[in-house]
Amino acid sequence: MSMHVLQVVEPGKDGVFRHVEGLCDFLLTRGDARVSLAYSDVRSSDRLQPLVDRVRLSGNSAINLQVGNSPQLADLRAYFRLLRLCRQVRPDVIHAHSSKAGALARLLRLGGVRVPIIYTPNAYFGMGSRKAVRAGVFDVAERVLSKIGYTINVSSDEAEFARTRLGVPARRQFLVYNAIDTQAFHRPSEKDRLDARKQLGIPEKILVIGCVARDSFQKNLQLLYKATAKAMAVTDELWLLHLGEGDLSALTQDLGIGSRVVRVNYMSDTIPFYHAIDAFAMSSRYEGLSFAIIEAIGADRPIIITNVPGNREFLSLGLSHVWSAPNEDVQGFADAIQSWITDIPQGRNSNHREITTSRFGYDACYGEIRKIYDRLVVGK
């Protein structure tokens, strides 16, 4: 059935945005849905404006809410702008992504908006088990809003947290994985690998562990750096390629690994990153369902991850080349890296591409979201 979908998102970068970008393009390409967009450029990337342009060129509306991820007075202005947009375009369904967008969209009920509202959190703050005031505020807000609309969770751990800690009703909950372009993210040829390493200034004949993550409590990059330093002490040819924001120069200096760490703050096209690495590592304290890990297995890379909420989803998929360590366990993570290195000469066949195409493709994931839209609109 044809419908008008309003997508609401903050931020305009990283995994949450890439999810919305892919979903909008999927819906627009199918041709049976109109897509309007409410976004924020406070946390932005060079991919945001092109998406805004594509939405507008399709004859639909796009507005800038100009909000960040923390509570602020500007949220009130953003709320009324969003409410005004809803009254103008009269969407059949509203889909909000991440905590700020989710709060603004669900509060539209107070303004009389009665269409189905869907919220995709992409990891709740409280999943990290920290007792910070900010995490507590977000958890309270999530509990208060949990009965409004519907929730699409992206991993089993996130879905369980939503039910048991936040009170999200199971009957209003769906589980749909994040999706990637499985044609774009593919196993690199030798030429792909060499070209990518030349682009990033990495020697040809070394082992490279890669990570895509900003420096934050959630991503826990200190664990990755310390564990990699231990592995480097055993394996001379091991390097680390880190894509993401944050200044970790003092840590690399303290660990004595600065000459073997390559830092890149941002890449609009991350495919060369995955072509340049030999394995992908993620040391998060928690995740919704990491886009970067999905991209890594799409590129047929081995993965080394912490056994934490969200990441556990990948441990349950039967991946052939996955190693894990407990949260906060530096030596355990270093041992996992070493286990991967020891496994390389075995030349085992990988099933990562097969699992990626069947579980994380656009048709499987975005197609399921489209079916949810249909179900909710018909039943409203």
The answer for residues whose C-beta is within 8 angstroms of residue 313's C-beta and 6 or more apart is 155, 156, 157, 177, 289
The string over 330-357, giving b where at least 16 C-beta atoms fall within 10 Å of a residue's C-beta and e elsewhere, is: bebbbbbbbebbeeeeeeeeeebbebbe
| pLDDT < 70 regions, the chain | 129-136, 380
What are φ and ψ of residue 48, in 5° steps? -70, -55
What is the reported pLDDT for 345?
A: 97
Q: How many CB atoms lie within 10 A of CB 130?
A: 14
Place of tokens 């366990």: 329
What is the reported pLDDT for 136?
A: 64
What is the reported pLDDT for 176?
A: 99
What is the reported pLDDT for 140?
A: 87
Place of tokens 């609109």: 377
Q: In what helix (H) or strand (E) does residue 197 lie, and over which residues does it extend?
A: helix 190-200
Domains and CATH numbers, the chain: 3-179+361-379 (3.40.50.2000), 190-359 (3.40.50.2000)
What is the reported pLDDT for 267?
A: 96
What is the reported pLDDT for 1?
A: 72
What is the reported pLDDT for 299?
A: 99
What is the reported pLDDT for 201?
A: 96
Q: Is the dihedral of CA 7, 9, 12, 17 positive or negative?
A: negative
Task: Tell me the whole-structure pTM to 2 decimals.
Answer: 0.94
What is the reported pLDDT for 71?
A: 86
What is the reported pLDDT for 240?
A: 99
The string over 234-257, giving b where at least 16 C-beta atoms fall within 10 Å of a residue's C-beta and e elsewhere, is: eeeebbbbbbbeeebeebbeebeb
